[in-house]
Structures are given as C-alpha cells and as structure tokens.
Amino acid sequence: MSSRKESPIVILSRALPPGVVAGLVVQVAAIVGGLTLGALALGFFLDAALGTRPLFILALAVISMPVSVWLTYRAAMRASARARAQYQDYLQSRHPPPQEQEPAPGEGARGDSLAPAKR
C-alpha cells in the first residue's frame, strides 16, 4: 500500500461511477419526458372527449411537474446509495481490515498455554 494521495478526479470517479451517473441520467430523462408527454397526451384526449380544450392539458401539465421532481429526487437518492456502496467497496478493497491471527496449536485465545501448569 502506498501513502500517495489520489487526485480529486480519481476520487470523484470512484465516488460517482460512470455507470451510476449514466443510469441516473436515463432515469431522469424517462421520468421527466414520460410524465410530460403522458400528461399532455392524456390532457389532449380528455379535452377532446369532454370538449374542454385547454383545461385538462394545463391541469395535468401542472400536476406532472411536482410529481416528476419527486420521482427524480427518489431516483437520485437510490443512485446516491448505489454510488456510496460502490465507493465503500472500493475503499475496503484498498485498505482491507486487519486479519486476526489464529492462536498456535496448544495456545488459548490470549496466547496462554493450555498445558497443565507445573508445580
């Protein structure tokens, strides 16, 4: 093990792996795009069926905004947890915890002999 410090770019790439970031970008795009397009399509359909032209389009578009923010926040928290777990695994692989040494045959856990004491 070397005592050399890693650059901030390396630490950032370990803390936020590209796979986690790419997954988050795709999730956010799907959430925001899907909700927006779904709200507009449903609004057009309901307005056409009920004859209330801008009412449902506007209402569903406004409702979809906080819902997409909330779902994006949840996706970001899940991605953050995955990134944190991967970073902890990386740190543990660099600095494994010390292994306990097993006592030699004939010795107890504290190193004392199991042989009967001589008088």
Q: Per-residue pLDDT tens for 47-78?
A: 999 999 899 999 999 999 999 999 999 999 99
Taking only the tens place, the pLDDT of each residue in 22-51 is 999 999 999 999 999 999 999 999 999 999
Confidence (pTM): 0.69
Assign 113 a pLDDT band (cuts: 50, 70, 90): low
Domain annotation covers residue 70: yes
Q: Give the count of domains, the chain.
A: 1
CA distances from 65 to 75, 91, 118 (A): 15, 38, 83
How many Å apart are CA 78 and CA 72, to the nearest integer?
10
CA 67 to chain centre: 20
- Whether 33 is in a domain gets the answer yes
Lowest mean pLDDT segment, chosen from 4-18, 52-66, 73-87: 4-18
Task: Name the 3-class secondary structure at 118.
Answer: coil
**Cα–Cα distance, 88 to 57 (Å, whole number):** 46
Residue 37 lies in a domain: yes
Give the pLDDT confidence score for residue 9 in this predicted structure.
85
- What pLDDT is attached to residue 93? 87
Q: Which residue has the higher pLDDT, 66 or 12?
A: 66
Q: Identify which of 63, 31, 33 has the alpha carbon closest to the alpha carbon of residue 55.
A: 63
Per-residue pLDDT at 26:
96
Look up the domain containing 53 and give its range: 26-87
Asked, for residue 74, whether it belongs to a domain, the answer is yes
Q: Would residue 61 count as lying in a domain?
A: yes
